[in-house]
Chains A and B, each alone.
Chain A
């Protein structure tokens, strides 16, 4: 895109809104500076998408290995859970956050985080019910109770908590503040995430697509959150859903 980035052009304009940049014309060189560019962190890349397709299965397997083999080698639930969560981040960056959000149901994320906490507490409380102390693995009614009690805590407890919470933090931070009053146009951002490719094209060609994008914002501001995701998923989500 070096051809379009001929000059800084827009950023020399003075701003009328206290320097917040909302009235500024968008930069021609496609840097993060322009306000329209802010809501569009996703662009389909022919390099990133195949790379993630190849790397993700190995990274996911490595995350599981680090989790499950933590008793015999460096690693454990915390590290493995973080690697598993990072795989989801990779997929989201390659194929779009909104598409990944729909692929990975909220129930799965919540089940990981809550289930992990319950399993950890449960493994701790079983010995208490049998008359021992909290997390007194010797009393667990399984063979080799100390080893497999620890494995259970690491794999089903810590690993799932960390993976679930990190994935959830990622999605909730990408979605941002929910109230329209909070940071101005929080609802508008939701829509822009869904319509990424259109806005990306608008940045490079002309202003016609940008006005169309504004029309989408007003439409989706009336809807609920779930309605927005479904409505805004015409771009990357539709194709990705087909691939998986």
Chain B
């Protein structure tokens, strides 16, 4: 499986590090890029919503491959599941128009601007450390990442560092986020002129 496609990135010391991309990862990349493109280009909103759900599912699988299961779970539950359902519910209240063309016509100047931005971003890719590299600053930083990994259990008695960071080390931020979620529910009631949820 490994070695189907080899991406080359230069390490921090200039030595090239060959990042192995498995066939599954490569196909996930292609799937995510294609679904993102179709989401932007699809003329029918219902089709765009469904393709967007597929995109989120692909991203969730990709996060799993990069060992970020917490993010993958959130992406799968919130983005692929809940957001798609809420968008479909809203779409069910609208009138669906039949389009002759399946895709939007592309605005060439806008496409050119996006292409330039994309090219500029891709130029920076050479300086980004390879996936999983032990020399990557995000991993090797002794004051932040390594400190949390080493100290989480001693300080909080939980094994999941992500949860310890969210609920303990930066618990006040999380409190603000939870209140934002609560406020979003209240805001939906106000916007829709409702007084009860169910």
Contact = CB atoms under 8 A, between A and B. Distances in A.
Interface of A: 11, 19-22, 31-33, 35, 38, 41, 66, 70-76, 78-79, 82-83, 85-86, 89, 93, 101, 104-106, 108-110, 113-114, 116-117, 120-121, 124, 134-135, 137, 144, 146-147, 150-151, 153-154, 157-158, 161-162, 164-179, 182-183, 189, 225
Contacts of B182: 113-114, 116-117, 161, 165
Contact of B168 (A146, A161, A165, A168): A146
A182 B188 CA distance: 15
16 contacts: A33-B97, A38-B93, A71-B159, A73-B160, A74-B162, A75-B69, A76-B162, A76-B167, A101-B198, A105-B198, A114-B182, A117-B182, A124-B175, A147-B157, A165-B184, A168-B185
B162 to A, nearest CB: 7
Contact of B95 (A21, A154, A166, A225): A21
Given A38-B93, A168-B188, A173-B89, A71 B163 contact: yes
Contact of B178 (A20, A108, A146, A157): A157
Contacts of A31: 96
A82 B74 contact: yes
B192 A176 contact: yes
Interface in B28-80: 46, 69-70, 73-74, 77-78
A180 to B, nearest CB: 11
Given A168-B189, A225-B196, 5 more contacts: A113-B185, A124-B171, A157-B178, A172-B188, A176-B93
Contact of B82 (A70, A89, A108): A89
Nearest to B156: A146
Contacts of B171: 124, 135, 150, 153
A216 B77 CA distance: 38
B82 A85 contact: yes
Counting chain B CB atoms within 10 Å of each CB, which of A20, A135, A137, A225 scores highest? Answer: A135
Contacts of A22: 95
Interface in B78-101: 78, 81-82, 85-86, 89-90, 92-98
Contact of A70 (B90, B92, B160): B160
Interface in B11-32: none
A233 to B, nearest CB: 13
Nearest to A177: B192
Contact of B70 (A21, A76, A105): A76
Contacts of A32: 46, 92, 96
A82 B69 contact: no
Contacts of B69: 74-75
Interface string B160-195: 101110111001101100110110110011001110
A172 B82 CA distance: 14
The 3 closest A-B pairs by CB, nearest first: A168-B197, A74-B69, A82-B77
B155 interface: yes
B193 A182 contact: yes
Contacts of B164: 150
A174 B166 CA distance: 32
B92 A19 contact: no
Given A72-B158, A176-B192, A169 B184 contact: yes
B179 A79 contact: no
A101 B69 CA distance: 33
Contact of A11 (B74, B92, B98): B98
B81 A109 contact: no
A151 B158 CA distance: 9
A158 B168 CA distance: 13
Contact of A146 (B157, B184, B192): B157
Contacts of B93: 38, 176, 183, 189
Counting chain A CB atoms within 10 Å of each CB, which of B92, B93, B175 scores highest? Answer: B92
